[in-house]
Amino acid sequence: MKLVKNENEGIKEHVSDKEAEEAFVKILKWIGEDPGREGLLETPKRVVKAFKEYFSGYKENPGKILEKTFGDVDGYDDMVVQKNISVHSHCEHHMAPIIGVAHVAYIPKDRVVGLSKLARVVEVFSKRLQTQERLTMQIAHTLMDSLDAKGVAVSIDSTHQCMTMRGIKKEQATTVTNYYLGQFKEDLSFQNRYLRFIAK
């Protein structure tokens, strides 16, 4: 193991792929499996590869995604709403999947951002261990600060596999979180319009 500097988190202990694979071998033994049998020989390597994808958000800076903006918008100053952005995350308590959709809106001050960037910010924060409440707030604050927006609204509606597959096992339960900043928080007319848009 060695110490490396992570752009988002500072100095961290680096764990190699080989060390991670060895950890998954131990977990296979712990659950009662034989990691030496044919079907499991490559499983630790495959799980490490999958985890790199699941948690790729730790290596990305969401603020950088929003650096390029456009000012040629002819004075557009109403809300921009992007609905039904898919969310695939993992809860930090059980590392079980969180699957759902996010809705994002912002009111530009002078500049707008490419539409794909809104979904990219959602994805970066989703690809980390999360609570839904924190995920909702992280997206909102990043958009508000990076875009110097007049207001931001973020909603997430998702299913938590830690509730549906284990524990209380309520398969139909979904969780909704909302977070508002700026004009969306101060002016209920903006908030109500936004809620009507995402309900369609």
Q: Is 91 a catalytic residue?
A: yes
Residue 59 lies in a domain: no
Is residue 90 domain-shared with residue 147, that is, in the same domain?
yes
Amino acid at 31: I
Q: Is 160 a catalytic residue?
A: yes
Residue 181 lies in a domain: yes
- Domain total of the chain: 2
Is residue 50 domain-shared with residue 70, that is, in the same domain?
no
Residue 165 lies in a domain: yes
Is residue 47 domain-shared with residue 86, that is, in the same domain?
no
Is residue 33 domain-shared with residue 77, that is, in the same domain?
no
Residue 139 lies in a domain: yes
| Non-local CB neighbours of 136 within 8 Å, separated by 6+ positions | 154, 155, 156, 177, 178, 179
Is residue 87 domain-shared with residue 180, that is, in the same domain?
yes
Q: Is 93 a catalytic residue?
A: yes
Residue 140 lies in a domain: yes
pLDDT in tens, the chain (200 residues): 554 455 555 557 889 999 999 999 999 999 999 999 999 999 999 999 999 999 999 999 999 999 999 988 888 889 999 999 999 999 999 999 999 999 999 999 989 999 999 999 999 999 999 999 999 999 999 999 999 999 999 999 999 999 989 888 888 899 999 999 999 999 999 999 999 999 98
Residue 112 lies in a domain: yes
How much is the pTM?
0.91
Is residue 31 domain-shared with residue 105, that is, in the same domain?
no
- Residue among 56, 82, 84, 72 at smallest CA distance from 143: 82
Q: Look up the CATH number of the domain holding residue 168.
A: 3.30.1130.10
Q: Is 53 a catalytic residue?
A: no
Provide the domain limits for residue 39: 2-54
Residue 60 lies in a domain: no
List the catalytic residue out of 7, 22, 67, 93: 93
Is residue 141 domain-shared with residue 183, that is, in the same domain?
yes
List the catalytic residue out of 33, 82, 94, 161: 94
